[in-house]
Chains A and B, each alone.
Chain A
Amino acid sequence: MAEVQPLRTQPAAPVARPVYEIARLSKTYARNRLVALEDVNLTIHKGEFVSVIGSSGCGKSTLLKIMAGLMPPTTGRVVLEGKPVVGTRPDIGMMFQQATLLPWKTTIENITLPIEIREGRGAAQAARDKAMDLLQLVGLGDFANVYPGELSGGMAQRASICRMLVSDPAMLLLDEPFSALDELTRDFMNMELQRICSERNATTFLVTHSLAEAVILSDRILVMKARPGHIVEDIKIDLPRPRTLEMINTPQFGEIVAHIRDLLGKEASE
């Protein structure tokens, strides 16, 4: 198989302030001496949307957990907003594969949950107006006081977007957030996510399995490979914004997808 050439070599884009900086990061699981991550270097700038893609076991979930402060790195520098990440922080917002809304709380109570846990019920009560604004932002204004059992899968994930945003995090970490949704809902949610992120100039890091999802949403895509987990290429996506679903059919889009598939396929055939 022919050597895969880097897609484009462009000079660095206009420099925004770096928000998340990772340098020489490695992670070794002591128990089975598995090297999950090796020498990962990554800087995410303000307002940037960065995705990581790779087969399962390539270390992308480990990377996300370290970035979230859920797991310590073995060596390396992990710094958010100038402060090292040594545990979970209020300025990190997370979203998971499932909406993980608590069924005994109403939608709006679920959204203020992070505030309730960190600052108590009084503060959560005070944050209701803000939660309401967020619900309006994702089009769930009429569902503030219903229980999650009455929400569809897409609506539940939109509510969990609000929960992630309620504490105004500096960094959003998304762990395959729409993978449990059907494809039509997923496309719609991706467009919603793009709109919300650009409205708030959010800095976002997305872990995904879907090539199309990564390309349509991202400014940069990191392609990761396993054994040991490392970044093989940092691809800049310069499709114009706002992106639309129609772009999926453009040659440029196809070229990028083909290139990533090539990179990942090379690993599979090794």
Chain B
Amino acid sequence: MTDATQMNDSGGDTVWVEHEALIDRIPRSVAMIFLFVVVVGIWDLVTRMGWVNAIILPTPAETWADLIFVGKNLIAGEYMLDALWTTTLTVFYGFLIAVTIGFSLGVLVGETKFGERAVMPYLVAIDTMPKVAFAPLFIAWLGFDIASKVALAAFIATFPIVVATAAGLYAASENERMLFKSIGASRMQTLLRLKLPTGLPYIFTGLKIASVGVMAGAITGEFLGGGKGFGALIRQSASQLDTPRVFALILYLSLLGLALYFTVVWAQRRFVFWNKSDRPGGVA
């Protein structure tokens, strides 16, 4: 008989060894770098071998060179920095307006019967429309300047905030409402001291979705309405078939999106310190 069988029969402790698959044991950083190298390797291969036309997909080296070029332009404070600043302002104002309107409408819908019965159906109806289709209207109303882009960005980002705020206000449990009622809290006190704090995790989820939407809105606005933003630069480069430049610009643009997103995540950690179930970087 083998040793293993004898050990099982010996009446000693039962020893279990749990095997974790190799793929689950790789540390996060190593796994991320590994995937990056693999993807860039495949990318390099298909472009180097000429399997894909260089106009459609530039080589990693070309893209890298353009990344450096754009980076230098930005650092030197030349025209690309102006464009990025324009887009940043658009995103900032758009987000600010979306938060203000979205939060107010969310409280109206979540807290009043009128809002729930009269306002919400219209919001749902508008929300189901493809909001980008409103871009020509905003341009017609507000012109080719930054205002029309701000409007589109805010328009897209408002709805997730409304829905999240309203849902957040419903989140307090029946018992918690009864507690507040039993200790004589007014409607305003219940809203400010119970419903809003309870709803904060929901509201922040809405803000994260909105932070992604506001970027999409700003860039779409710049694509369709021209102007001086980063979106216009991308469209220009694309029309000149300068694909490496398009890639480089998109990568820098994504930094703006990431900055906004992680500002929201930071604020959530700061203000919703009690909700530890939230995972860093998670979308929801």
Q: Which residues of B contact A114 (CB under 8 A)?
A: 183-184
Which B residue sits closest to A103, measured CB to CB?
A: B274
- For the complex, count residues of B whose C-beta is within 8 A of A: 19
- A78-99 interface with B by 8 A CB criterion: 88-90, 92, 94, 96-98
Whether the pair A117, B181 counts as a contact (CB closer than 8 A) is no
Chain A nearest CB from B109 CB (Å) reads 24
Give the complex CA separation of A92 and B179 in angstroms: 12
In the complex, are the beta carbons of A94 and B193 less than 8 A apart? no
The residues of B that contact A92 with a CB separation of less than 8 Å are 182
Considering only residues 192-216 of chain B, those with a C-beta below 8 Å from chain A are 193-194, 197
Q: How far is the CA of A100 from the CA of B183 in the complex (A)?
A: 13
Given A103-B275, A149-B274, is A88 in contact with B175 using a C-beta cutoff of 8 Å? Answer: no
Asked if B173 contacts A88 (CB within 8 A), the reply is no
Taken together as a complex, chains A and B put the C-alpha atoms of A113 and B184 apart, in Å, by: 11
* Contacting pair B173 A98 (CB below 8 A): yes
In the complex, the answer to whether B276 meets A117 with C-beta atoms within 8 Å is: no
Contacts A104-B273, A149-B274; A88 near B182 (Cβ below 8 A): yes
- When distances are taken between beta carbons in the complex, the residues of chain A under 8 Å from B178 are 70, 94, 96
* Given A97-B175, A100-B179, A102-B194, residue A90 in contact with residue B184 (CB < 8 A): yes
Quote the shortest CB–CB distance from B20 to chain A (angstroms).
30
The verdict on A117 contacting B189 (CB below 8 Å), with A98-B175, A100-B175, A100-B176 known, is: yes
Most-contacted residue by chain B among A69, A100, A103, A114 (CB, 10 A): A100
With CB as the reference atom, state the residue of chain B lying closest to A147.
B274
Most buried by B among A92, A98, A113, A117: A117
Least CB separation from B186: chain A residue? A117
With A96-B179, A98-B173, A102-B194 as given contacts, are A118 and B184 in contact (CB-CB < 8 Å)?
A: yes
The answer, yes or no, to whether B180 is at the interface (CB within 8 Å) is yes
A68 contacts chain B at the CB level, 8 A cutoff: yes
> Once bound together, how far apart are the Cα atoms of A88 and B274, in whole Å?
30
Question: Which residues 109-123 of A have a CB within 8 angstroms of B?
Answer: 113-114, 117-118
The distance in angstroms between the C-alpha atoms of A102 and B272, with both chains bound, is 12
Q: Please count how many residues in chain A sit with their CB below 8 Å of the partner chain's CB atoms.
A: 21
In the complex, B81 has a CB within 8 A of chain A = no
Contact of B197 among A94, A104, A117, A147 (CB under 8 A): A104
B275: chain A residues within 8 A (beta carbon): 103
Q: Which of B163-180 contact A (CB under 8 A)?
A: 173, 175-176, 178-180
Indicate whether B185 reaches chain A with its CB closer than 8 angstroms.
Answer: yes
Cβ A113 vs Cβ B274 within 8 A? no
A70–B182 touching, CB < 8 Å:
yes
Question: How far, in angstroms, from A146 to B40 measured CA to CA in the complex?
Answer: 49
**A113: B residues at CB distance < 8 A:** 183
B177 nearest CB across to chain A (Å): 9
In this complex, what residue of A is CB-closest to B271? A104
Contact A104 B175 (CB under 8 A): no
- Residue among A70, A89, A94, A147 with most chain B CB within 10 A: A94
List residues 209-245 of chain A with CB under 8 A from any CB of chain B.
Answer: none
How far, in whole Å, are A100 and B175 apart by their CA atoms in the complex? 7
Nearest A residue to B197, CB-CB = A104
What are the residues of chain B within 8 A of A103 when measuring CB–CB? Answer: 274-275
Report how far A100 CA is from B173 CA in the complex, Å.
Answer: 9
Q: CA of A118 to CA of B189 in the docked complex: distance in angstroms?
A: 10
Alpha-carbon separation in the docked complex, A47 to B70 (Å): 80
Q: Assuming A103-B274, A149-B274, is B176 touching A117 (CB within 8 A)?
A: no
- Can you give 12 A-B contacts (C-beta < 8 A)? A69-B182, A70-B182, A94-B179, A96-B175, A98-B175, A100-B175, A100-B179, A102-B197, A114-B183, A117-B185, A118-B184, A147-B274
7 closest A-B pairs by beta carbon, nearest first, are: A103-B274, A114-B183, A96-B175, A94-B182, A117-B185, A100-B179, A100-B176
Residues of B within 8 A of A (CB): 173, 175-176, 178-185, 189, 193-194, 197, 273-276
Please name 6 further chain A to chain B contacts, defined as beta carbons within 8 Å, in addition to the given A88-B182, A90-B184, sorted by A numbering.
A70-B178, A97-B175, A98-B173, A100-B175, A104-B273, A149-B276
